[in-house]
Structure 1
């Protein structure tokens, strides 16, 4: 599949469906989630509350802090939640708004040299705070989460060719001709948490247009969503930006996870990834595929990605039930994140 066509008119009925799968406030965690969170906490959450990316020189990201805060709340682990939130608030605060700086680099004079944000981190931090405020009856958490949600609406949404888009960050993703988006940032259950706490029609537009975007943003032999996507301002035409490798890989694998979590397993992007992962021509589950050439990555998917893929296939009834292990051997940070998010999605349906 080559360059995608311009957008059709959004289907209004899809907007509400795209906000499905919202995590239940105060839900009791499953045993599998508790075990998985315990291992993640042991391996990646430092005593001061910093989540370390062991595969990337032990830096920390706002997304990692957000994922940890969210999973700590889902595991009803208030002590770890407050540790991660306290560190995030201390080190990643931006003076001009309530969004978080995207990266912390240890062992250097200025540990946060770039104060640009990462929108997926802001989404998960906000949702974690909102859920924590309800679980533990803490208005301060709720107020902080709502303030972040309002700044997401204020600073990170753009109107392009009649559609509402979500910027990956406040700066660096817009040109005169196009806007670049990251399809994996459309975490529909998380958008639902924010929409319930801070009611605004913009959430519905963002979710509905995001679902339409994912229906169109499919490339290569298998029709897969890309890690990064360029949207033309003039007509909404989609293409693969040259700034990144044109791949379905570490970012885009979260697209089918969020769709299935939201109860949207029959969406084209989820069906396409299931076909790709179950293709009998693969000698192993590949870590990535080049969407311009259909070249398969030379190494196998990580355990976390295999667990995520098994969950997606299970939701479509294509394989016998496959569940990611809760107790697992040491793994790197991102693979462990994927496994933990998959356990969270499973826990919501338990």
Structure 2
């Protein structure tokens, strides 16, 4: 049964989710972030996914929330999120350990780390955000922690793959397969983050990873749809190839992971050298969304056949992509879908996608040609966090 307080929270969340604020009306306070913080972030800084039986927390959620807190100039929330992440996912010291990817209620009813393996996409976002926070808030300790985490990602979560180059593995363990095969995830490599990590760390290995990631994105969407997971394989004859992962749960589909590929591409700066190629490559996703009236929940990356209707969170994720690609009618269609249905206020992932997609269109944040995020509070707001 919903309490009165909980009911009011859901109503407020729904009202906020129904609003797509035009870019010209970016606000110094960010109502969507405030609602997300109140709904999903505990008092001590844990991002809780209420939809799962174990009420778990994933490192991805902590990473995204830290970025949103920085975008909102919310220093207090940022510090709490970082402290909880270090204390509970990284054994008390984020400079010594990669954060575990999953924390929650265990089978014996105790609470703690469920899976100690790390998730490299979260780690990249955390490193990027820490270094950036150190600069914009003039906090050298944040910058130093981000620099150390960036080094650890290169040491523990990357591999030099023959014919491809230095590549980001999804985790330290479990993705080096047998017989010169590796399992990769295109949504784990936002190019703007890799580009700015190369600049801000001064480590050329990030540029090498950017080059390999560009190939990963360009060569894994034969029909214009990105897969959730891919297999990269080399042979004794030194030939190399990508293929969709047909053994995993997604069976060669693009869905809940891949939706972020279009999101990251849509947020690239217009002067970014990779932007036009990626937008052209994935144009079929924009066309299919317009034809259906909604983004597909899943799409077969070889046949282009859609399966199921994606949520309004998926629609929000596509907004920057549709705008960047000049798909104005489809952009308006998806904005109207969001206004008509709202974003589920209790759906963690949909709310994350909406914060990214709508926040970008509202110009709460943007990425410059070097991949560095810039925020509305830096440009036009005169307040302390």
TM-score by length of 2: 0.76
1:217 lines up with 2:220 in the alignment: yes
3-state SS in 1 of match to 2:256:
coil
Whether the 8 Å CA contact 1:289–1:295 is kept in 2: the answer is yes
Change in 2 beyond 3 A, CA 1:317/1:281:
closer
CA offsets, 1:97-146, max 9 Å, x none? Answer: 43110000136325213211000111111112112212222211111111
Whether the 8 Å CA contact 1:165–1:206 is kept in 2: the answer is yes
Aligned residue number for residue 9 of structure 2: none
- Looking at structure 2, the residues matched to 233 and 59 of structure 1 have their Cα atoms a distance apart, in angstroms, of 37
Change in 2 beyond 3 A, CA 1:113/1:80:
same
Partner of residue 44 from structure 2, selected from 48, 51, 54: 48
Whether the 8 Å CA contact 2:286–2:327 is kept in 1: the answer is no
- Looking at structure 1, the residues matched to 132 and 83 of structure 2 have their Cα atoms a distance apart, in angstroms, of 16
Unaligned residue ranges in structure 1 (runs of 5+)? 1-28
1:236 lines up with 2:236 in the alignment: no
| Structure with bigger RCO (C-alpha 8 Å, 6+ apart) | 1
Look at both structures and tell me which one has the larger radius of gyration over its CA atoms.
2
Whether the 8 Å CA contact 2:130–2:145 is kept in 1: the answer is yes
1:330 lines up with 2:333 in the alignment: no
1:276 lines up with 2:285 in the alignment: yes
- Looking at structure 2, the residues matched to 114 and 297 of structure 1 have their Cα atoms a distance apart, in angstroms, of 30
Whether the 8 Å CA contact 2:100–2:116 is kept in 1: the answer is yes
Partner of residue 287 from structure 1, selected from 279, 282, 297: 297
Change in 2 beyond 3 A, CA 1:290/1:32:
farther
- Looking at structure 1, the residues matched to 360 and 202 of structure 2 have their Cα atoms a distance apart, in angstroms, of 24
TM-score by length of 1: 0.83
Partner of residue 204 from structure 1, selected from 198, 207, 230: 207
- Looking at structure 2, the residues matched to 317 and 288 of structure 1 have their Cα atoms a distance apart, in angstroms, of 23
CA offsets, 1:171-195, max 9 Å, x none? Answer: 0001232011110001122223322
Unaligned residue ranges in structure 2 (runs of 5+)? 1-24, 367-375, 377-385
Whether the 8 Å CA contact 1:71–1:344 is kept in 2: the answer is no
Aligned residue number for residue 303 of structure 1: 312
Whether the 8 Å CA contact 2:127–2:146 is kept in 1: the answer is yes
Aligned residue number for residue 17 of structure 1: none
- Looking at structure 1, the residues matched to 314 and 303 of structure 2 have their Cα atoms a distance apart, in angstroms, of 22
Partner of residue 276 from structure 2, selected from 229, 249, 266: 266
1:73 lines up with 2:73 in the alignment: no
- Looking at structure 2, the residues matched to 248 and 62 of structure 1 have their Cα atoms a distance apart, in angstroms, of 22
- Looking at structure 1, the residues matched to 357 and 265 of structure 2 have their Cα atoms a distance apart, in angstroms, of 12
Partner of residue 169 from structure 2, selected from 167, 170, 178: 167
Aligned residue number for residue 116 of structure 2: 115
3-state SS in 1 of match to 2:98:
coil
CA root-mean-square deviation: 2.5
Whether the 8 Å CA contact 2:121–2:188 is kept in 1: the answer is yes
Whether the 8 Å CA contact 2:294–2:315 is kept in 1: the answer is no
Kindly report which structure 2 residues correspond to 1:309-320, keeping only aligned pairs within 5 A, or say none.
Answer: 309-320=318-329
CA offsets, 1:43-79, max 9 Å, x none? Answer: 2111111001233232100010000001101110001
- Looking at structure 2, the residues matched to 236 and 343 of structure 1 have their Cα atoms a distance apart, in angstroms, of 39
- Looking at structure 2, the residues matched to 236 and 256 of structure 1 have their Cα atoms a distance apart, in angstroms, of 25
Work out the number of aligned pairs and report it: 318
